[in-house]
Amino acid sequence: MATLTNVPTTRLTIRDSLPDGLLSCRARDLHLILDGPTLIELPGKTEPPLFVSTLLHGNEDSGLGGVQRVLRSYSDALLPRSLMLLIGNVQAARQGMRRLDGQPDYNRIWPGAPSDGQTFERQIMAEVHARAVNRRAFAAIDLHNNTGRNPHYAVVCDLDPHTLGLAVLFARRAVRFRGIPGTSTASFAGVIPAATAECGLPHQEANEKAAAKFLDAVLNLDELPEGPGDRSAFDLYHSLGVVRLRKEVSFLFGADKADICFDPGIDAHNFEDLLPGTILGATVHPMPLRMIDEAGRDVAEEYFEVSGGRLRLRKKVVPAMLTTDPRIVRQDCLCYLMERL
């Protein structure tokens, strides 16, 4: 077992077997079994290995549940393909949080992220990335949940046939996204077919089962399919930008004593076509939002306008990941806006 030494609270542990209790452990209790980020490398009938990451965000537990279901199904047999399994932010999972205050976002520090100094977390992700690349991983899958109501969808960073073939194994929807460097999927793009599986809301059995079905399908493949077989049954979107509240702006959902007040059911609009003029909230601020596109520009004025105390859309867009969780809005974003391809 190898570790990054001299790190009191954050280190990488590499194992070649499953620790006792892992297959029945809740995400909140992983700290009783694992010291921190852990890479588990398991043998299988076929090489190269499938790389899977889960719990890069500690409150997103469907990936862990899906992995547990798959590994339990092979408890008396060799896996059909070798597996590299990264279990990420164990300490945040203990608290049921995306990340702890003072921690970096574990899905923003992979190779290619803007440098803001070397941290042990960055070293961990760089080491994991290098091991997966050196073993020429079959594919890279990052398992996530949403904090708002969304259908299942995949996120990809390029459109090569094998990457789209991987995505369609999970869902009939995929989003091409290149806007935030430093995600796991972005770090593997162009090197290994890679996709993020967005498994809906956490703590739901159906979403664990969807993650498990996806993983088991990929583990049993000899080759990745080359794109979706029926393109008419596959919806592909392009991310236009990430939408965030300005730091000085106060906000509430379903109340009227803040700089901007959103409908408490706003996340029902995820993956809907929203037309120009759609009202998103009531505001006293001239422009409460920032929208950062793939070039790093703030394009909020192109997509939103404030008139008559209402925040409205200026263009037809499709939102994803709209959330009503205030902590997530501050730690990450309000939503992403997309267009259909």
Enter the tokens of residue 215: 């993983």
In whole angstroms, what separates CA 333 from the centre of its chain? Answer: 13
Buried b (16+ CB within 10 A) or exposed e, 249-277: bebebeeeebbbbbeeebbebbbeeeeee
- CA distance to 131, 180, 267, 285, per residue, from 293 (Å): 31, 9, 21, 22
Look at residue 179 in the predicted model and tell me its pLDDT.
Answer: 67
In whole angstroms, what separates CA 208 from the centre of its chain? Answer: 15
pTM: 0.89
pLDDT of 139 above 50: yes
Q: Residue type at 140?
A: A
Question: Are the C-beta atoms of residues 31 and 13 closer than 8 Å to each other?
Answer: no
Look at residue 173 in the predicted model and tell me its pLDDT.
Answer: 95
pLDDT of 302 above 90: yes
pLDDT of 3 above 50: no
DSSP state of 180: S
In whole angstroms, what separates CA 111 from the centre of its chain? Answer: 16
Q: How many residues are given for the chain?
A: 341
Question: Are the C-beta atoms of residues 285 and 245 closer than 8 Å to each other?
Answer: no
CA–CA separation, 57 and 66 (whole Å): 15
pLDDT of 129 above 70: yes
Question: Are the C-beta atoms of residues 320 and 271 closer than 8 Å to each other?
Answer: yes
7 — pLDDT class (breaks 50, 70, 90):
very low
Q: Residue type at 234?
A: F
- Cα-based torsion angle of the residue sequence 100, 104, 106, 107 in order, rounded to the nearest 10 degrees: 120
Look at residue 5 in the predicted model and tell me its pLDDT.
Answer: 32
Identify which of 218, 183, 225 has the alpha carbon closest to the alpha carbon of residue 48: 218
What percent of the chain lies above the pLDDT cut of 90? 87
CA–CA separation, 149 and 262 (whole Å): 16
What percent of the chain lies above the pLDDT cut of 70? 95
Question: Are the C-beta atoms of residues 124 and 9 closer than 8 Å to each other?
Answer: no
Residue-averaged pLDDT of the chain: 93
CA–CA separation, 317 and 320 (whole Å): 10
Backbone angles phi, psi at 122, to 5 degrees: -65, -40
Look at residue 256 in the predicted model and tell me its pLDDT.
Answer: 81
Buried b (16+ CB within 10 A) or exposed e, 71-86: beeeeeeebbbbbbbb
CA–CA separation, 245 and 222 (whole Å): 45
User: Which residues face 25 on adjacent strands?
Assistant: none
- CA distance to 163, 221, 225, 283, 291, per residue, from 81 (Å): 18, 8, 16, 53, 41
Identify which of 49, 86, 80, 94 has the alpha carbon closest to the alpha carbon of residue 67: 86
Helix spans in 45-119 (H) = 62-73, 90-95
pLDDT of 229 above 80: no
DSSP state of 258: S
pLDDT of 70 above 50: yes
Across the range 48-58, mean pLDDT stands at 98
CA–CA separation, 142 and 107 (whole Å): 9
Across the range 74-98, mean pLDDT stands at 97
Look at residue 194 in the predicted model and tell me its pLDDT.
Answer: 98
Per-residue pLDDT of 112-123, as tens digits, reads: 998 766 689 999
CA–CA separation, 282 and 11 (whole Å): 45
252 — pLDDT class (breaks 50, 70, 90):
very high
1 — pLDDT class (breaks 50, 70, 90):
very low
End-to-end Cα spacing for the chain: 46
319 — pLDDT class (breaks 50, 70, 90):
very high
pLDDT of 155 above 60: yes
pLDDT of 178 above 80: no
Buried b (16+ CB within 10 A) or exposed e, 174-199: bbbbebbbbbbbbbbbeebbbbbbbb
pLDDT of 158 above 70: yes
pLDDT of 318 above 60: yes
